[in-house]
Chains A and B, each alone.
Chain A
Amino acid sequence: MAAPVLRWSCPARRWILANIDRGPRHGRGSPTGSRSSGKRGQSSVAQQPLATAQKPRKGEHQWAAVVGLEIHAQISSNSKLFSGSQVHFAAPPNSLVSFFDASLPGTLPVLNRRCVEAAVMTGLALNCHINKKSLFDRKHYFYADLPAGYQITQQRLPIAVKGSLAYSVFVGKNRNQVINKTVRIKQIQLEQDSGKSLHDDLRSQTLIDLNRAEGQLRVDANISVHHPGEPLGVRTEVKNLNSARFLAKAIDYEIQRQIEELENGGEILNETRSFDCKLGCTVPMRDKEGKQDYRFIPEPNLPPLLLYDSASLPAGADPQQVINIDQLREQLPELPRVTREKLVQQYGMLPEHSFTLLNEVGLLEFFQNVMKETRAEPKRVTSWVLNTFLGFLKQQNLAVSESPVTPSALAELLNLLDQKTISSAAAKKVFEELWRSGGKTPAQIVSEKRLELMQDQEALEELCQATMEKHPQVVMDLKKGNPRAINKLIGLVRKATLNRADPTVIKEMLERQLSS
């Protein structure tokens, strides 16, 4: 228990226009034409007299959905938030549990400095206002994996508030149109995690492991709908969301469910629901207890958490016992947004490529290492890393660190390509061979498989001549203006060179010879 967790909630607005019965857009006005509620959609054809009197259809009001995400992220630290037990994944049950974690009487929480630093840095990275004074509270509820009967959290005055996160979404057919969006971060708070429960249905019991709960990153979604201009609707909480994809599905489903329920005259209960990923729907989770009353009280064993900046740092204070926000801000690593901007400026790459480079662990470093050792153009390196290299990784479900091809090897290969020692097609073959047999260098593979491009221009000229002489009918075709004939000729020459000539070079040569 008491594994350190950061919880942050971001409220976001989403506007949708929901037409339950997707009838034709035109021609729906009320017969009297006076119903201009302003909530209706765009086309105000309500003024038109209608040939057939139509009843105003249900489901035509505009709905707005409000979605808030509660994200639980485990802090990367050696020990827990309030105790000195180890934080470690997959340890024997209850082996990382101290007396405090087991809630034995007389034990007290002792705050971990590293966790506070992590929370402040997260707040700074998310553009939050850091509260120089924040408070700890107790949130009471009963569950077997919470032996104290309460969780220490920061409900009244958390460590960071009012932040934002800018992100981009790629849309369009080729996913190359960028839409930039911002989401608000309501607050970031430090809190204890519960233990882990294993349900043993066979013996009708639950097994409790107080090391820590599962999952280093968990998300719950809070969803409600309302008509714009009216007060917010009742919200439901959806848990058991294991991936971004399911999160999106669950939110979409729940919005639709709430709209349908309300349009049919029902009401939304303030309840907790679970997402059934097989059925793609949300189902009620807890029995109908109504709203939980957590009876928040200040945590009596922890004084307020005070943070300082360079201006307010008390003179002569023990550096171990004070936290300087300005110092932490300086220690922040370069944020992804800045890295991406640099990549776009330095290498002229497209924004969506910068995203891909940063979204894969180790890929940026790989790319930069290749760039260091090759003379090839950044655009070519980008293309090879993001398409060929990443493609192979994904196909075999490997991480960058597990790649059989090193940055040096790829750099060497790209140099050969750049020098026109080999053709593009040959390079792909070399790459495949590099992937298969880790040890050889590109140069070795090229010579073994005789993939070098013909360097002897005269010999190539002779081959072109010879090929044209052997296939006069193709040449005739070409002279008549058949565009496909040239490709046939190129193919023939390539075959004759055992694929060791670049098609574009062949084409140039043929065209020159033909025109002379």
Chain B
Amino acid sequence: MWARAARRVLRAPGGGGRGFASKAGGGGVSAGGEAAPQERGRVPGDVIEHLERLALVDFGSREAVARLEKAVAFADRLRAVDTDGVQPMESVLEDRCLYLRPDNVVEGNCAEELLQNAHRVMEEYFVAPPGNITLPKLDEQELFSKS
């Protein structure tokens, strides 16, 4: 995998681990268009590994990681906006009314239908592996790496 190469890359000045994206939020950016000089936001190897476990994605190549880095850099441009004294937005729905449903039973009772979707069932139970199967460790992966 790409990971061996990625590890040798300069770490982002924001700090290692997961710290790269978590600069102090909120305001503090200088007014006017001039943002602080953007770091070349390289994503460290252990962060990639961490993301792959959390989201079960596979950054299969150096290009994919580069695309991730570009996406993060693109989003980072939001920091140029002065948000001093501005309440953060919760979601695009935040001005909508949250609908409250009355406490009546109106659905369910469709076990057969639901179980049809399952890969394996046993007597009306879904069947799953015995526990979480951990991803193979990075070192093992390198053995199988595609360059």
Chain A residues close to B by CB (< 8 Å): 77-79, 83-86, 92-99, 101-102, 104, 110-116, 135, 140, 142-144, 197-201, 204-210, 287, 293, 295, 298-306, 320-321, 323
Are B108 and A85 in contact, with the CB atoms below 8 A? Answer: yes
Q: Which residues of B contact A200 (CB under 8 A)?
A: 130
Q: Given A140-B54, A287-B134, is A298 in contact with B114 using a C-beta cutoff of 8 Å?
A: no
Are B130 and A199 in contact, with the CB atoms below 8 A? Answer: yes
- B116: min CB distance to chain A, Å: 11
Whether B73 sits at the interface, judged by CB under 8 Å, is no
- A341: min CB distance to chain B, Å: 33
Q: Given A144-B129, A205-B127, A304-B98, is A113 in contact with B90 using a C-beta cutoff of 8 Å?
A: no
> Can you report 8 A-B residue pairs in the complex whose CB atoms are below 8 A from each other?
A86-B108, A94-B111, A111-B99, A206-B129, A209-B125, A209-B126, A293-B18, A304-B98
Q: Which residues of B contact A140 (CB under 8 A)?
A: 54
Are B129 and A205 in contact, with the CB atoms below 8 A? Answer: yes
Are B99 and A95 in contact, with the CB atoms below 8 A? Answer: no
Q: How many angstroms from the CA of A101 to the CA of B111 in the assembled complex?
A: 11
- A201: nearest residue on chain B (CB-CB)? B130
Q: Given A79-B103, A208-B125, is A321 in contact with B54 using a C-beta cutoff of 8 Å?
A: no
Are B124 and A93 in contact, with the CB atoms below 8 A? Answer: yes
Q: How many angstroms from the CA of A97 to the CA of B100 in the assembled complex?
A: 20
List 16 additional contacts besides A83-B107, A98-B108; criterion CB under 8 Å. Answer: A79-B103, A84-B107, A95-B111, A95-B124, A102-B117, A111-B98, A197-B128, A205-B122, A205-B127, A206-B127, A209-B126, A302-B93, A304-B98, A306-B97, A306-B98, A320-B102
Are B100 and A94 in contact, with the CB atoms below 8 A? Answer: no
- A317: nearest residue on chain B (CB-CB)? B97
- A74: min CB distance to chain B, Å: 14
- A499: min CB distance to chain B, Å: 60
- B145: min CB distance to chain A, Å: 23
Q: Given A209-B125, A300-B93, is A84 in contact with B100 using a C-beta cutoff of 8 Å?
A: no
Q: Which residues of A contact B96 (CB under 8 A)?
A: 303
Q: Given A143-B132, A198-B125, is A303 in contact with B93 using a C-beta cutoff of 8 Å?
A: yes
Q: How many angstroms from the CA of A163 to the CA of B73 in the assembled complex?
A: 43
Are A293 and B54 in contact, with the CB atoms below 8 A? Answer: yes
Q: Which residues of A contact B114 (CB under 8 A)?
A: 94, 97, 99, 102
Are A207 and B127 in contact, with the CB atoms below 8 A? Answer: yes
Q: Which residues of B contact A198 (CB under 8 A)?
A: 125
Whether B105 sits at the interface, judged by CB under 8 Å, is yes
- A147: nearest residue on chain B (CB-CB)? B126
Are B93 and A206 in contact, with the CB atoms below 8 A? Answer: no
- B99: min CB distance to chain A, Å: 6
Q: Which residue from B56, B95, B126, B129 sits with its C-beta under 8 Å from A94?
A: B126
- B98: nearest residue on chain A (CB-CB)? A303
Q: Which residues of A contact B94 (CB under 8 A)?
A: 303-304
Q: How many angstroms from the CA of A200 to the CA of B93 in the assembled complex?
A: 43
Within 8 A of A (CB), among B66-97: 90-97
Are B105 and A112 in contact, with the CB atoms below 8 A? Answer: no
Q: Given A205-B127, A207-B125, A293-B50, is A303 in contact with B91 using a C-beta cutoff of 8 Å?
A: yes
Q: How many angstroms from the CA of A199 to the CA of B125 in the assembled complex?
A: 12
Q: How many angstroms from the CA of A265 to the CA of B103 in the assembled complex?
A: 55
Number of interface residues of B (CB under 8 A): 41
Are B106 and A84 in contact, with the CB atoms below 8 A? Answer: yes
Q: How many angstroms from the CA of A82 to the CA of B135 in the assembled complex?
A: 32
- B44: min CB distance to chain A, Å: 15
Are A97 and B127 in contact, with the CB atoms below 8 A? Answer: no
Q: Which residues of B contact A113 (CB under 8 A)?
A: 100-103
Q: Which residues of B contact A199 (CB under 8 A)?
A: 130
Are A321 and B97 in contact, with the CB atoms below 8 A? Answer: yes
Q: Which residue from A92, A94, A99, A114 sits with its C-beta under 8 Å from B103?
A: A114
Q: Which residues of A contact B131 (CB under 8 A)?
A: 206
Whether B38 sits at the interface, judged by CB under 8 Å, is no
Q: Which residue from A84, A96, A114, A204 sits with its C-beta under 8 Å from B130?
A: A204
Whether B109 sits at the interface, judged by CB under 8 Å, is yes
Q: Which residues of A contact B6 (CB under 8 A)?
A: none
Top 10 closest pairs, chain A to chain B, by CB: A144-B128, A114-B103, A85-B108, A207-B125, A84-B106, A113-B100, A208-B126, A98-B107, A303-B93, A94-B111
Q: Which residue from B50, B91, B110, B122 sits with its C-beta under 8 Å from A207?
A: B122
- B127: nearest residue on chain A (CB-CB)? A205
Q: Given A206-B127, A206-B130, A302-B98, is A85 in contact with B107 using a C-beta cutoff of 8 Å?
A: yes
Are B105 and A86 in contact, with the CB atoms below 8 A? Answer: yes
Q: Given A206-B129, A305-B98, is A94 in contact with B124 using a C-beta cutoff of 8 Å?
A: yes
Q: Which residues of A contact B109 (CB under 8 A)?
A: 95-96
Q: How many angstroms from the CA of A201 to the CA of B131 in the assembled complex?
A: 11
- B124: nearest residue on chain A (CB-CB)? A93
Q: Mark B3-17, 1 if CB is under 8 A from A, else 0.
A: 000000000000000
- B43: min CB distance to chain A, Å: 15
Q: How many angstroms from the CA of A165 to the CA of B127 in the assembled complex?
A: 43
Q: How many angstroms from the CA of A299 to the CA of B93 in the assembled complex?
A: 10
- B123: nearest residue on chain A (CB-CB)? A93
- B125: nearest residue on chain A (CB-CB)? A207
Q: Which residues of A contact B18 (CB under 8 A)?
A: 293
Q: How many angstroms from the CA of A85 to the CA of B108 in the assembled complex?
A: 5
Whether B29 sits at the interface, judged by CB under 8 Å, is no
Within 8 A of A (CB), among B32-49: none
Interface centre among B92, B94, B95 (most CB of A within 10 A): B94
